[in-house]
Structure 1
Amino acid sequence: MKVIILNGPMGVGKTAVGKYIAEHTPGTAFIDGDWCLDIHPFVGNRETKTMAVDNILHMIGNYKKCSECKMIVLVWLMDNEWVYNSIIEGIKKLELEIKSVTLTCNHTTLTDRWHNDKECPWRTDEWLKVSTKSLDYFSSLGNTLDTTNLSIKDVAEKIING
């Protein structure tokens, strides 16, 4: 069983691409890491992120046991190396195949996507500044896919076929 991990800044399209892959690939489970760290108000410290990693790995382990599940797509913003490494090591212990992709785009594209997303409550000007500042970090990672000028379908196909 393969686990596709989609990482990247807020607003880059991780959720849209992950849902597209899940909806177009029978037997695919979709996990949004934000579900596993849904504390109000939001607190993103070491304790809560450790809890979220444990929740994510528990879900992946349960999907592994399900005969109906053939693939898992995990989307989550992992801007701490220890969080990403914890997820990778946990999936390796479950003996699952891993395909990890960090989605990036240019500043203009991120801003456009941000303003066109009417569903996410995080789409404020304050969070947009945080997200655009993180573009350099995510672009520096070794497993990036620049989604500038690509449709959701194009990105999904590159991930599945690449």
Structure 2
Amino acid sequence: MKHIYLIGGTMGVGKTTTCQMLKNKLNNSVFLDGDWCWDMNPFQVTEETKEMVMQNICFLLNNFIKCSAFNHIVFCWVMHEQAIVDDIISRLDTEDCKVHPIALVCSRDALTKRLMKDVAAGQRTEDKILRSLMRIPLYEKLNTTKVDVSSITVEQAADVIIQRFST
């Protein structure tokens, strides 16, 4: 039985670092960040690019599912709407898999502190803070398991996910 971890969360909540840690803690695992499929210049959000990105994500995830080398497939992306999560799952061959939709959530204060560190380090622009804060309530509405990362480390977040889902 393979495990597919679909990990969403607003910008700056720690999806990528948590998923990297999760990949390193789980044997026979692979990690895909949905943002890698949007890495274009100029950044263009059109119906055509949105569909292309979704096809690329699901193509890669299905190839990971088919590959006997992997028991754990870790995927992260913003996934702020249930329709996005449902669309991804509907395109995957999940016959011999357990799919674990997860949302990383945190308090407004914790998110602001994380994003301010990123801004100070030149990794994000300040305009992303308000956008990210505005998306926090969207994750409460999703049909996902919530993991509150407000006051835990990346390693602790990965351990929580492993304890809940990897057996």
Same fold (TM over 0.5): yes
Give 1:71's aligned amino acid: H
- Aligned equivalents of 1:109, 1:42: Cα separation in 2: 28
Alignment-derived partner of residue 152 in structure 2: 150
Equivalent residues, number = 160
Describe the superposition over 1:28-61 as per-residue Cα deviations: whole angstroms up to 9, x where unpaired.
1000001112221222343322211111111111
- Aligned equivalents of 1:120, 1:29: Cα separation in 2: 28
The runs of 5 or more residues in structure 1 that have no matched partner are none
Give 1:152's aligned amino acid: V
Give 1:155's aligned amino acid: A
More displaced 10-residue stretch of structure 1: 108-117 or 38-47: 38-47
1:66 Cα offset (Å): 2.0
TM-score, scaled relative to structure 1: 0.90
Give 1:131's aligned amino acid: S
Alignment-derived partner of residue 129 in structure 2: 128
1:119 Cα offset (Å): 6.6
- Aligned equivalents of 1:112, 1:80: Cα separation in 2: 25
- Aligned equivalents of 2:69, 2:122: Cα separation in 1: 30
Alignment-derived partner of residue 57 in structure 2: 56
Check if 1:114 corresponds to 2:106: no
Give 1:145's aligned amino acid: V
- Aligned equivalents of 1:120, 1:85: Cα separation in 2: 34
Measured at CA, do residues 60 and 120 of structure 1 come closer, stay the same or move farther in structure 2, by a change above 3 Å? farther
- Aligned equivalents of 2:152, 2:159: Cα separation in 1: 11
* Contact 1:50–1:83 (Cα < 8 Å) also in 2: no
* Contact 1:37–1:52 (Cα < 8 Å) also in 2: yes
Give 2:83's aligned amino acid: W
- Aligned equivalents of 1:104, 1:120: Cα separation in 2: 23
Alignment-derived partner of residue 159 in structure 1: 161
* Contact 2:6–2:99 (Cα < 8 Å) also in 1: yes
1:15 Cα offset (Å): 0.5
TM-score, scaled relative to structure 2: 0.87
Measured at CA, do residues 44 and 81 of structure 1 come closer, stay the same or move farther in structure 2, by a change above 3 Å? farther
* Contact 1:37–1:51 (Cα < 8 Å) also in 2: no
* Contact 1:7–1:76 (Cα < 8 Å) also in 2: yes
1:14 Cα offset (Å): 0.5
Give 1:82's aligned amino acid: A
SS in 2 for 1:29: strand
What's the RMSD between the two structures over aligned residues? 1.8
1:12-161 correspondence runs (5 A):
12-91=13-92, 93-95=93-95, 96-117=97-118, 121=123, 123-143=124-144, 144-161=146-163
Describe the superposition over 1:83-110 as per-residue Cα deviations: whole angstroms up to 9, x where unpaired.
221111122x342320111111011100
Give 2:38's aligned amino acid: L
